[in-house]
Structure 1
Amino acid sequence: MMATVDLEPGDTLVSVPKNILITASEVAKRLNVGHQLDSNQLLVLEICRLKQQGKESSWWPYVRLLPQDFNTMPVTYPEDILKSALPPHLTAEIQEQKAKIDADYRHVVQYSKNTSLGVENIDYKEFEWAWLCGEHLIVLGELTESVGTEDRSIVGGNIALAPMLDFLNHKSDAQFECGYNHKTQSFDIRTLMPYRRGQQVFFQYGAHDNAFLLKEYGFVVANNPYSAINLDDQMSKLLARLRVSGKFGAMKLKMLEDNGDYTIRRNDISFRTLSALRLIMATDKTQCSAWQRCVLGSQDIISDEIEQQVGLLLGDMCANTVRRSERSLEYLQNLKLQESPKTTVDSFAALFLETLWKEYKSIGEAAQIELIPGLLTSSNS
């Protein structure tokens, strides 16, 4: 989307009138489905209906501009690619996403057998397409309170379809504010930064790393300030050992149950990663008590010895990430020489995966050189 005039901070980028916001409540009322379908299923069904109506629908000029496919979104990749070319945590998340699409499809098809929903014989690919469109269009759950159309009885909340917002591309440093304008009865996005006429204007989808952007939107961005490597799968193996370590291991697991975000960014090892590794290395209840003081901020470290062990373990985890990245990059290079249907992937999807793995490799290498030595040095000071 491009600015047609010079824009200053506070000017409106996009204004979506209330009468073209499609809420789950409105769809449920029109179809008379009661509580049989949740809010996401209702809106996906509405996208299918609008697509099937074609030129007969007043929405056709907009619907025909929706993406024809979502080949860069991992949920559409061949199974072999999911298993071999994605980070483990992302593969698990994609499998959950696919299971959600499958479950929604089965539920809608089963319900539509005995009810007229105004949609003809939805096949799986059509439903998947509409579901993924919804990932880009379904927003503004809080807006429905402002416009007075919320139905709190709908499972999943009364979310809405907001056409046009998907035409705004993501940029990590885009500055904006958005909300419902009661005066104009519209949902407005206002820029907080200037744009000159002819410049592309941007929206920020959130403070997300590239793995999240790839999963949810099917793209990655260069020099993403939120880039991180995810250590969940390696941490899971360490935590699995605690489950067979008797009462002491069980106590550690309970202390960690509210933790997560096992990541390393370009300039930072997440506090939760450090906290979890410190606790895993603790050898007695006294050290576990010291760990709790560290978490609360009243103590810096448990002991120099444990800091040393944590640093060495983090070094191994980063080295594992670098090796995995190299293997995956080699796999992606080999894909270009193959033509098997099991491993055929969109060229842009392959490029995005290469970008992601190069990023993981770079962060892992930088952490070994810049972050972990500092951790080891501080433990010896």
Structure 2
Amino acid sequence: MPGHRSGRAARKRRKKQESITQSVSLSHQQQYVRLKTFLHQRGFTSALLQPARFTDTGRGLQALKTIKSGELIISLPESCLLTTSTVLNSYLGPYIKSWRPRISPLLALCVFLVCERHRGEASDWFPYIDVLPKTYTCPAYFSDDVMAVLPTSVQRKALDQREEVRGVHSSHLSLFRSLQPILSQPVEEVLTYEALRWAWCSVNTRSVFMSHPSSDFLFGQDVYALAPFLDLLNHRPDVQVKASFNEVSRCYEIRSVSGTLRYEQAFINYDSHDSQRLMMEYGFVASCNPNSVVYVDTDLLCDVLKADRGLDQKMRFLRENNFINNLTVSSEGPGWRLLTALRLMALPQTLYAQWKAVLLGQRVCEETEERSARTVKTLCERILQDTHTALEKISLLLQCVCPSLTEQLRVVEALRQEERCILGNCLKAMECSAEQQTPDELLSRQPDDADDNEDAVS
């Protein structure tokens, strides 16, 4: 018996240790030594944070001492920021300034990153480019197999992102060819689609918001700034910080609101995004995200309600009143916009005069509420079935794909697992509510921020 107790205790200790986040400092590695030297020469030092690798999030920044609420954790001088001013003042400047039609700030930064990576250690920005990820896990990188296991509601957006990057590359081949004089290899071997995709994702996933004055040489809003070292900070939904460019100090500053304990990972908050948005924009899914929802695709909605002879008219009415998007369910239950749309769907065409009132929040009869509740349940069950099928396909793909695809699949798998959890909790919440409340009380939620009710009824 004592031996059995000892084994059980050892397993418990092991399990507890595995659940604790471990970290390993990266400060001694040559590429981070070079990065810190590069930044120090430009006026930045950090006594509060060091690069480290964490078992739960990968690379991030670790607090070397306890950071108090309200304390300034990073103050990165303007000279350390890579902006369009950096590009226009570089060897690329004359080419971009003379090019017509004018290009976007995003493209200017992308071309600069590709050219600087091509220059290798001869580049002033090599210490920064050397620590940038070599690949990304946002949709622009997704293979067809990975695209196929995405939720329907995000699949179209993901395909659009991939095609957008392809379009940016194919529509600027003349610009790229004009840069041949500054390249040591044929332009076709340097400014490739793959290279531009890497740069595009680098800017989109890692830049901070920083408004710049409009330029005579660029077209469109300029709000990008790449921030070396600062961009190692990872996102966590429950963390609060204040981040902005300080016009007095001429530094990009991040001030902690939540605080961080010594040796723990310091986080920032990229904004109140759900997991689909985080995956689309940044290529990851945050655990325990209170903003996460499951989107109900309109094609699925129409399929579930296809027996309704007035479906086309109702869908047209919803579309005309900006009520066809952001139909969601959360762990607490169906979102207000979805409930409202389903109430309208449950009404007969003879009550057309009431449709606008329903979108404005008017209550409907008990029978209509019951039909709406049944439709929500059917929608959840249909999406849940698709989720299970996708997870099975992901499991099979993970057994036979290369490492780069494995990373992509793990991100989609996390999204699908979260989706499964939300749908299961939604069905349980509705079941519990149905036992305790009347259908009218069950579906009596009011608009809230989580439903993203930004489109007013016209």
- CA-to-aligned-CA distance 1:303-356 (integer Å, 9 cap, x gap): 2121111111111110011111111111122223435x7xx8633333333222
- CA-to-aligned-CA distance 1:77-96 (integer Å, 9 cap, x gap): 3212211x111122111100
C-alpha contact 1:315 1:368 (8 A) present in aligned 2:
yes
C-alpha contact 1:243 1:249 (8 A) present in aligned 2:
no
Matching of residues 166-177 of structure 1 within 5 Å: 166-177=231-242
Quote the offset at 1:67 in angstroms: 0.4
Deviation larger for 228-237 or 43-52: 228-237
1:214 aligned partner = 279
1:331 aligned partner = 393
Which of 227, 246, 271 in structure 2 is aligned with 1:163?
227
Matching of residues 284-303 of structure 1 within 5 Å: 284=349, 286=351, 288-297=352-361, 299=362, 301-303=363-365
- CA-to-aligned-CA distance 1:254-282 (integer Å, 9 cap, x gap): 44435421111111421111111122222
Find the aligned partners of 2:378 and 2:181 in 1 and give their Cα distance: 55
2:291 aligned partner = 226
1:15 aligned partner = 75
Matching of residues 219-258 of structure 1 within 5 Å: 219-235=284-300, 237=302, 245=310, 248-249=313-314, 252-258=317-323
Which of 132, 135, 139 in structure 1 is aligned with 2:208?
139
* SS in structure 2 of the partner of residue 201 of structure 1: strand
Matched letter for residue 241 of structure 2: F
Matched letter for residue 371 of structure 1: M
Larger Rg: 2
- CA-to-aligned-CA distance 1:142-173 (integer Å, 9 cap, x gap): x32xxxx4338843311222223321011111
C-alpha contact 2:305 2:311 (8 A) present in aligned 1:
no
> Does the alignment pair 1:184 with 2:256?
no
- CA-to-aligned-CA distance 1:112-165 (integer Å, 9 cap, x gap): 224568454311111111111111233324x32xxxx43388433112222233
Quote the offset at 1:237 in angstroms: 3.0
* SS in structure 2 of the partner of residue 321 of structure 1: helix
- CA-to-aligned-CA distance 1:26-45 (integer Å, 9 cap, x gap): 53572313543112111111
> Does the alignment pair 1:27 with 2:87?
yes
* SS in structure 2 of the partner of residue 9 of structure 1: coil
Find the aligned partners of 2:308 and 2:404 in 1 and give their Cα distance: 39
C-alpha contact 2:63 2:264 (8 A) present in aligned 1:
yes
* SS in structure 2 of the partner of residue 113 of structure 1: helix
1:101 aligned partner = 165
Deviation larger for 328-337 or 50-59: 328-337
> Does the alignment pair 1:87 with 2:146?
no
Matched letter for residue 51 of structure 1: R
Matched letter for residue 317 of structure 1: L
Given the superposition, is the C-alpha separation of residues 248 and 375 from structure 1 closer, same or farther in structure 2, using an over 3 Å criterion? farther
TM-score, normalized by length of structure 1?
0.86
Find the aligned partners of 1:380 and 1:175 in 2 and give their Cα distance: 37
1:315 aligned partner = 377
Higher relative contact order (CA 8 A, sep 6+): 1
1:125 aligned partner = 194
2:141 aligned partner = 76
Quote the offset at 1:243 in angstroms: 12
Structure 2's unaligned 5+ residue stretches are 1-60, 442-458
Structure 1's unaligned 5+ residue stretches are none
C-alpha contact 2:318 2:324 (8 A) present in aligned 1:
no
Find the aligned partners of 1:261 and 1:117 in 2 and give their Cα distance: 49
Matched letter for residue 134 of structure 1: V
Quote the offset at 1:240 in angstroms: 9.7
Deviation larger for 355-364 or 311-320: 355-364
1:365 aligned partner = 424
Which of 36, 58, 61 in structure 1 is aligned with 2:124?
58
Quote the offset at 1:8 in angstroms: 1.5
- CA-to-aligned-CA distance 1:167-226 (integer Å, 9 cap, x gap): 101111111011221221111111112223322110111212222222222221222212
C-alpha contact 1:242 1:253 (8 A) present in aligned 2:
no
C-alpha RMSD over aligned residues: 2.9
Given the superposition, is the C-alpha separation of residues 375 and 274 from structure 1 closer, same or farther in structure 2, using an over 3 Å criterion? farther
> Does the alignment pair 1:39 with 2:105?
yes
Find the aligned partners of 2:259 and 2:251 in 1 and give their Cα distance: 22
C-alpha contact 2:294 2:422 (8 A) present in aligned 1:
yes
Quote the offset at 1:245 in angstroms: 4.8
Find the aligned partners of 1:308 and 1:191 in 2 and give their Cα distance: 48
